[in-house]
């Protein structure tokens, strides 16, 4: 754990240059606008430790998987969002010496992410070898208003000299992925011109043939006055263009370079229109200028905060942590394009390849459901609907048939493309989370039409998969499910994982109910869906009913708990307390053999099921299972803490709930797991949001109503969260004494508070004593 | 299955050129001499499908493993015997046109492996584009007398022309492995000279720095008379040397080129002595000449056949198949160097990297035990003794301690170096086979001294591993063993694999007995071993006893059989008959997911244990287990048939025993599994030998005596096998009527025949009626 970020309610601040943490800082200061993103790399030439990263949403490369011996059913490739051309560069030379922040002596160094307004700022004073001192200030943003535009304002002030300096402004496509499986370059050059009015570079990904066009425009101001830059050299190299010019610096006067980059891709434009599209973006930027672009940015971010802020009083670190999570979630996914999804690291690193995991459905959907317009969450779901055919093909590759759908564990385009057999291959439980997300969406939004439009076909495909994936055990006289990996990835190829079985059973039941609903209410739609799916109503429903009624769900009768999997009780059952501190995290210290055999649990498994299907279980049952499993859980997934925090809150263990929250809320800001250098834990950020709203706020949907059973973390004075519920913008504020709910909608709303109904009139609020 | 090899008792013959099978033929016609080997590649330039292969025993490259995400305990590298420089080349050009057997019109093509004498011969007539016809005959051998020498006699006879032809004689180090994980070259050039008296090339492997020196000498004969070759060009290129010369061919007269190559490596010589060593090899070859070298070769092979031949009357295909297996086993391992071992493909292909697997102990030791001097089998065992420290380190990497030893599943130097997690990682059962081999060796040879000299330390290390690898299950109140893969590699990470548990129990018991034996008989040796191993006699023996007495061995009480693993009965239990023919072999047609979940068994698992520990079980028990498991066994390992054949024979099912034998005996000659193109199944060949001797011959060691209970395969007239037992050279011949055992030793011997003792005087024989 590190502690070098200054606490502030709206800003992320690094004071002083921390060379040893630079890759972490680059992750932390990442920017994104839903369409593209980048790590907080220096504009300057930088000789220190760096992970350069620019990423384009939906632009990926199918890197050949690394596997000893490929087997039938393994993915052919591991898709990764690739490191894309770098358009940030502003390289300064004085007297032939590079302005290299790593090598030169720096003072007054500050990096700062302004979350309220959505930009990244950096200031420092550098001293050159010959004693020349220069003050640098840069501001950078990726516009969320025009989401094909990046803009930098870069100011230089010579403090003790006047001189001509060389400025190099490149767009550089000679980039690689650090984790390329076979050290290949992924980009080919298509076209470029450094001498065009708007210098540009067009590159194309190998194999997938996505094109990206980068064009740039720049202007100069001295002492606030525009200057014309008539003298410049154009440089063209392989996958590289640049302009080189000289500007005259006068002691004490500030020269400012504005660099605008248009980043347009073939995902949104025809190949032959890329150049023009880029020109339009630049024309718009030129017309507006940096100041106006930044103002627009601020306004757009203000709107986002207005819909989804969480405010904490009395704990700046917590406030900063929560806002940072919300900020990064909004940078990563905007819901404008249903072909995009959310990679575990968003646009902040290479790891996990930027692909879609079950994290989206399990840990991210709730945030977007509550803080965005319903279309945003709906688009996250439609992503899977559009992949239904691919999911059917995925299942066929494994030997399933008749429309059974197995969604991939890792995907870019609906095809399975994970990179490791020993964990991912058998994690078929993702199918359950994808089904549950449909239910979750409808439960929250009330948008039943999603079922007939999209959801039901997906549910049928998934239920068919479950029905084929179980087999009847003569020994047990029950249906069993062999060879799976549950959410606890410290197991592999287990039999009868309770969570997977339970979610399978739930899916089949919900699908049956959904068929019943659509059939009764919109019969013509049911006819269409049944025909399209070649649904054999009598046979399939009978089969599902039989399976649901005779499904083996492992249980320990003695302890009266659900059993994570068959044979779990054969393990040497110990608690996490017994692991010596210097052996944690076990995944870094223990062999895979030892981890697999141990009882230790990586993240919620049985408890994940109790979280999803909470309504089916009484509190005592949840408590017994929590008391048994939590002490064996090492929480070595960033997705573990949130579920445990929410369950602890439900069980009244406010202290533990808060402790779990702490370990997740500042995961990246404090580099809790020593891996933030690789990128941010975006999906965990959704979990933190869930912890505050569902854990501390006790927010649920009950009886088709919003319900709250909040508690107040001891260390805080108050906390408040904003949500959007069926057209009502609500602000729920909890302090030591009261819960206050403000309804900013135009209609009244009935909510449950500590189990009791309360009506809140339009544009009114209620206040209820915490002791109710 | 293919059928293009002509049946012959002593030769492997391909009549007519089968372009489509060329890679298979290259495997089949492989040569080896225990120290190096090569595939049956053409000497000529060859444009057809080929897998060029030359391999040097013990010279390997640690290729970086391919794994999605490396985990603690995974091997760092996958060692492979690398494709080594090619010294075979004799390239002929007439009128500038290459003699390319693939492109030219060929007639009278015959390839022939003479197993009796140990050489490879090839003859054909080629017609050039301009109608010129030339007859070619080549003979090639790798000397087993001077095992650093290769020799080729290459004859050209122009049938319808006289002309000058160009002859190129290269040594070519520009070779790659087809299965290089990252397409790298593995060799660097160190030194070369094409103009030296003996032109040479010295190369070195990357990373491992093994050096190999290749030197050549050649002579020419026309019409049987030596000719001097004074005019030649020397060619030197990167990792390549050659001589180019011209010879005058006269119509009808045969010109013969003799090419000798010395192949010496740094495994047997100092780096600075390689050149000299190679010169000496060539000097010896020059002195002897091809004819004498071949005579020596014949004599040496005659001796091998005299010790280990199996003769079959009445079935030429069977005779050819069996001799081929014996021939290849003797080509692969000679037992001269205890640092060498036997790769699954010997010197015939790249697959499985030429590393040592448990195959050696489980399927190969019996052959060498019975057909060679005891030192040969002893050296196979000492190989593991020498790796004990590495095995302890392997175990430590996985978290074991206090001298627990886990031998690697795949190794070159004692380090684990497998290439796939999902099968190999958890196959800890290999430890059991390595322990059993010690027992098996002593049982056969009576050489108890092996225990105190080498065996006991290994047994202690392995027993310690087992003792740590189990854990006490509170649930079962027994010791259990979680997370293993048994010999059936169509399972992964199962709990309580009966075979592994049983072998663990057996090892601990045998180790205890062995300690007792050494302690009582050679107490000073026990003191030495106990001190060296830091053995805590009281504690460790007590622990082992407790584990052996309270070990969980899964059983199905209803069927009264041992259970392959926990949960096996949950599977959808079906027989192999139910798999449609077009879905076999399942590993080519089914997904890994489906295979894992199915009941189908790749190779003997429970039955492997019943085979090893036969004495512990009554025939009814063996039969019940065989009847349950065999019908579910797909025999998709080349190591499956032999065990099943031997058990079927024991159970009196002579028909099935013979059927199993058939599927293995000509596995490569008939390309049974469509994979002989990748190399031969050397370890399966040991299994075939076991089938004939232990299956048909019913050979066992009982009461410290050789015992036979033979049956006569219906299709054969007779069969006979030669073995070496404790200084007695025996020939056991079985025909329809009698068993005849000839004792060529100088002492009398008592054997058991159908359970009854018979004394055989020195140089005498006995004959017993088959109906006894």
Q: What contacts A717, CB < 8 A, 6 or more positions away?
A: A313, A314, A315, A735, A736
pLDDT band at B230 (very low <50, low <70, confident <90, very high): confident
Question: A597 to chain B: which residues are within 8 Å by CB?
Answer: 471, 482-483
Is the predicted pLDDT of residue B430 greater than 90, yes or no? yes
CB contact under 8 A, B569 and A473: yes
**pLDDT value at position B25?**
98
Say how far apart CA A298 and CA A143 lie, in whole Å. Answer: 10
Give CA A613 to chain center in angstroms: 24
B419: nearest CB among A68, A573, A594: A68
Cβ of B420 within 8 Å of Cβ of A597? The answer is no
CB atoms B592 and A474 under 8 Å? no
Q: How far does the CA of residue B402 sit from the closest CA of chain A (Å)?
A: 16
Residue A141: what pLDDT?
98
Query: What mean pLDDT do residues A728-735 have?
Result: 97
Residue B566: closest CA among chain A residues belongs to which residue? A567
Separation between Cα atoms, residue B227 and residue B620, nearest integer Å? 73
Question: CA–CA separation, B92 vs B155, rounded Å?
Answer: 11
CA distance A426 to chain B (A): 7
Rg of the Cα trace of chain A?
27
- Rounded CA-CA distance A27/A681 in Å is 10
CB B155, CB B99: distance < 8 Å:
no
Residue from A693, A712, A690, A703 nearest A752 by CA: A703
**CA–CA distance, B142 with B658 (Å, rounded to integer):** 34
A-to-B residue pairs, Cβ atoms closer than 8 angstroms: 149
Chain B positions touching A476 (Cβ under 8 A) are 570
Separation between Cα atoms, residue B8 and residue B318, nearest integer Å: 10
The string of DSSP codes covering B231-261 is: -EEEEEETTEEEEEEEEEE-TTPPEEEEEEE
Q: How far apart are CA B106 and CA B104, in angstroms?
A: 6
Model pLDDT for residues B337-359, shown as the tens digit of each residue: 999 999 999 999 998 778 899 99
Which percentage of chain B shows pLDDT scores above 70?
Answer: 100
Do residue A68 and residue B68 have CB atoms under 8 angstroms apart?
A: no
Take residue B567 and report the two structure tokens written for it. 């949960």
- Region B198-217 average pLDDT: 96
The fraction of chain B above a pLDDT of 90, given in percent, is 91
Rounded to whole angstroms, the Cα distance separating B63 from A324 reads: 44
User: Which whole number is the average pLDDT over A264-269?
Assistant: 97
CB contacts of A398 in chain B (<8 Å) are 591, 593-594
Q: What is the per-residue pLDDT for B180?
A: 77
List the single residue in A with minimal CA-CA distance to B418: A68
Closest approach of chain B CAs to the CA of A399, in angstroms?
7
A484 close to A493: Cβ distance less than 8 angstroms: yes
- pLDDT surpassing 80 at residue B96: yes
B764 CB neighbour count, 10 Å cutoff? 14
**Nearest-angstrom CA–CA distance, B699 and A195:** 87
How far apart, in Å, are the Cα atoms of B7 and each of B24, B168, B315, B318, B649?
17, 35, 10, 9, 27
Calpha distance B564→B485 (Å, rounded): 11
Q: How confident is the model at residue A352 (pLDDT cuts 50, 70, 90)?
A: confident
Question: Comparing C-alpha atoms, which of A422, A411, A433 is closest to residue A358?
Answer: A433
Looking at residue A78, what is its pLDDT?
82
Test A67 with B69 for CB contact under 8 angstroms: no
3-state secondary structure B121-143: EEEEEEECCCCCEEEEEEEEEEC
Q: Running DSSP on this structure, what letter comes out for residue A492?
A: -
- Residues from chain A that touch B422, judged by Cβ atoms under 8 A, are 71, 421-422
User: Residue B66 pLDDT more than 80?
Assistant: no
Kindly state the tokens that stand for B436: 């059993």
List the beta bridge partners of residue B337: none
C-alpha B368/C-alpha B382 separation (Å) is 14
Q: How far is CA B650 from CA A460, B618, B625, in A?
A: 53, 11, 13
A729 vs A427, A695, A738, CA distance in Å?
A: 37, 20, 20
pLDDT value at B236 more than 80: yes
In which band, very low, low, confident or very high, does the pLDDT at B610 lie, cut at 50, 70 and 90? Answer: very high
SS (H, E, C) A211-278: EEEEEEEEEEEECCEEECCCCEEEEEECCEEEEEEEEEECCCCCEEEEEEEEEEECCCCCHHHHHHHH
Give CA separation, B245 vs A615, B93, B168, in Å: 89, 11, 7
Q: Is the pLDDT assigned to residue B242 strictly greater than 80?
A: yes
Interface contact A592-B425, CB threshold 8 A: yes
pLDDT band at A422 (very low <50, low <70, confident <90, very high): confident
Chain B residue whose CA is closest to A476: B570
Strand partners, B720: B311, B733
Is B571 in contact with A471 (Cβ distance < 8 A)?
yes
Cβ contacts of A422 on chain B, cutoff 8 Å:
71, 421-422
Cα-Cα-Cα-Cα dihedral sign, residues A656, A662, A668, A670: negative
Mean pLDDT of B446-461: 97
**What strands lie across the sheet with B728-735, from one edge to the other?**
B310-313, B718-725, B728-735, B738-743, B764-769
Instruction: Establish how many alpha carbons lie within 13 A of residue B30's alpha carbon, considering only the half-sphere containing its beta carbon.
Output: 39
Search chain B and give the residue with CA nearest A598. Answer: B482
Most confident of A73-82, B142-151, B420-429: B142-151
CB-neighbour burial class of residue A615 (10 A; exposed 0-12, middle 13-18, buried 19+): exposed
Question: Cβ-count burial of A587 within 10 angstroms (0-12 exposed, 13-18 middle, 19+ buried)?
Answer: middle
- Note whether A571 contacts B471, CB cutoff 8 Å: yes
pTM for this one? 0.93
Chain B environment of A480 (Cβ under 8 Å)? 570
Listed residue (A726, A725, A640, A740) closest to A690, CA to CA: A640
User: Which of chain B's residues have a Cβ under 8 Å away from the Cβ of A68?
Assistant: 65-67, 78, 418-421
DSSP letter for each residue of B288-322? HHHHHHHHHHHHHHHHHHHHH-EEEES-HHHHHHH
Q: Is A270 exposed, middle or buried (0-12, 13-18, 19+ CB in 10 A)?
A: exposed
Of A55, A56, A57, A23, nearest to A42 by C-alpha is A23
Burial of A52 (0-12, 13-18, 19+ CB in 10 A): middle
The C-alpha atoms of residue A308 and residue A720 are separated, in whole angstroms, by 10
A545 or A745, which is more confident = A545
Of A495, A567, A573, the CB nearest to B474: A573
DSSP assignment letter at A79: E
- ipTM (interface predicted TM): 0.91
Bridge pairing between strands A749-753 and A705-708: parallel
Contact: A399, B591; criterion CB under 8 Å: yes
Q: Say which range, A216-225, A416-425, B591-600, has the weakest mean pLDDT.
A: A416-425
Q: Is B4 exposed, middle or buried (0-12, 13-18, 19+ CB in 10 A)?
A: middle
Q: Residue B623: which H helix or E strand, with range?
A: helix B619-629
Q: How confident is the model at residue A687 (pLDDT cuts 50, 70, 90)?
A: very high
Q: Shortest CB distance from B422 goes to which of A422, A471, A494? A: A422
CA distance B79 to A463: 45
Q: Do the Cβ atoms of B594 and A473 come within 8 Å?
A: no
Task: Check if B489 is active-site.
Answer: yes
DSSP symbol at B484: B
For A594, the closest of B399, B418, B571 (CB atoms) is: B399
Judge: A67–B573 Cβ closer than 8 Å, yes or no: no
Count other C-beta atoms under 10 Å from residue A230's C-beta: 6
Active site residues of A: 489
Q: State the catalytic residue, choosing from B98, B489, B630, B742.
A: B489
- Give me the pLDDT at residue B757, please: 97
Distances (CA, A) of A85 to A30, A207, A588: 16, 17, 33
Measure the CA–CA gap between A242 and A262, rounded to whole angstroms: 15
Retrieve residue B534's tokens.
């830091």
């Amino acid at each position: 754990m590190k502690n070098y970020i200054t606490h502030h309610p709206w800003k992320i601040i690094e004071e002083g240059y921390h060379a040893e943490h630079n890759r972490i800082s680059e992750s932390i200061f990442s920017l994104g606008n839903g369409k593209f993103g980048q790590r907080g790399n220096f504009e300057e030439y930088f000789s220190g430790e760096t992970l350069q990263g620019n990423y384009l949403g939906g632009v990926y490369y199918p890197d050949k998987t690394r596997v000893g011996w490929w087997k039938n059913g393994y993915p052919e490739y591991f898709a990764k969002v690739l490191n894309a051309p770098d358009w940030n560069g502003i390289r300064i030379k004085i007297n032939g010496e590079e302005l290299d922040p790593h090598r030169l002596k720096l003072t007054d160094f500050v990096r700062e992410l302004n979350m309220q307004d959505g930009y990244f700022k950096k200031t420092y004073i550098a001293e050159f070898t010959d004693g020349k001192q220069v003050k640098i200030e840069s501001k950078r943003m990726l516009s969320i208003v025009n989401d094909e535009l990046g803009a930098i304002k870069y100011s230089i002030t010579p403090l003790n000299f006047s001189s001509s300096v060389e400025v190099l402004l490149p767009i550089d496509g000679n980039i690689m992925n650090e984790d390329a499986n076979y050290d290949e370059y992924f980009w080919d050059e298509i076209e470029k011109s450094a001498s065009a009015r708007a210098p540009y570079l067009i590159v194309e990904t190998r194999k997938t043939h996505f094109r990206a066009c980068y064009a740039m425009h720049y202007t100069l101001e001295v002492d606030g006055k525009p200057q014309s830059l008539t003298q410049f050299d154009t440089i063209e190299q392989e996958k590289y263009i640049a302009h080189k010019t000289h500007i005259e610096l006068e002691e004490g006067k500030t020269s400012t370079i504005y660099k605008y980059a248009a980043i347009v891709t073939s995902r949104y434009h025809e190949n032959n229109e890329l150049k023009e599209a880029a020109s339009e973006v630049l024309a718009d930027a030129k017309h507006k200028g940096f100041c106006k672009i930044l103002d627009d940015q601020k306004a757009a971010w203000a709107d986002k905060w207005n819909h989804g802020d969480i405010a904490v009083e009395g704990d700046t670190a917590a406030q900063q942590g929560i806002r940072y999570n919300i900020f990064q979630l909004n940078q990563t996914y905007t819901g404008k394009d249903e072909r995009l999804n959310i990679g575990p690291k968003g646009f902040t690193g290479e790891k996990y390849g930027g692909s879609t995991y079950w994290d989206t459905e399990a840990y991210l959907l709730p945030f977007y459901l509550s803080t965005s317009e319903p279309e945003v969450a709906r688009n996250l779901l439609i992503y899977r609907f559009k992949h239904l055919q691919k999911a059917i093909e995925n299942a066929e590759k494994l030997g399933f048939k008749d429309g059974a759908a197995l969604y991939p564990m890792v995907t870019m385009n609906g095809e399975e493309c994970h990179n490791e057999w020993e964990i991912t291959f058998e994690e078929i439980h993702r199918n359950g989370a994808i089904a549950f997300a449909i239910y979750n969406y409808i439960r929250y939004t009330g948008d039943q039409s999603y079922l007939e439009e999209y959801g039901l076909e997906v549910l049928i495909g998934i239920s068919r998969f479950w029905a084929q994936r179980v087999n009847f055990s003569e020994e047990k006289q029950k249906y069993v499910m062999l060879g799976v990996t549950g959410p606890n990835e410290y197991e592999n190829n287990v039999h009868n994982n309770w969570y997977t079985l339970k979610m399978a059973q739930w899916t089949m039941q919900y699908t049956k109910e959904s068929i019943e609903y659509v059939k009764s209410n919109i019969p013509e739609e049911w006819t269409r869906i049944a025909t399209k799916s070649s649904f054999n109503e009598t046979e399939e429903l009978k089969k599902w009913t039989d399976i649901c009624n005779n499904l083996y769900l492992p249980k320990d009768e003695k302890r009266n708990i659900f059993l994570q999997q068959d044979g779990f009780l054969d393990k040497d059952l110990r608690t996490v307390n017994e692991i010596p501190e210097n052996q944690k995290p076990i995944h870094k210290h223990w062999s895979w053999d030892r981890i697999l055999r141990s009882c230790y649990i990586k993240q919620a498994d049985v408890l994940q099921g109790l979280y999803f299907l909470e309504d089916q279980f009484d509190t005592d049952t949840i408590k017994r299972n929590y008391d048994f499993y939590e002490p064996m859980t090492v929480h070595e997934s960033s997705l573990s803490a949130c579920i445990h925090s929410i369950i602890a809150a439900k069980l009244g263990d406010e202290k533990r709930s808060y402790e779990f929250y702490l370990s997740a809320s500042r995961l990246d800001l404090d580099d809790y797991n020593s891996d933030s250098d690789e990128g941010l834990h975006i999906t965990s950020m959704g979990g933190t949001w869930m912890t505050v709203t569902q854990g501390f706020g006790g927010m649920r949907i009950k009886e088709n109503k919003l319900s709250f059973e909040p508690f107040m973390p001891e260390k805080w004075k108050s906390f408040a969260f904003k949500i959007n519920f069926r057209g009502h913008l609500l602000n729920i504020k909890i302090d030591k004494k009261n819960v206050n709910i403000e309804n900013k909608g135009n209609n009244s709303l009935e909510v449950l508070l500590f189990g009791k109904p309360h009506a809140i009139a339009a544009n009114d609020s209620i206040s209820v004593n915490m002791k109710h």
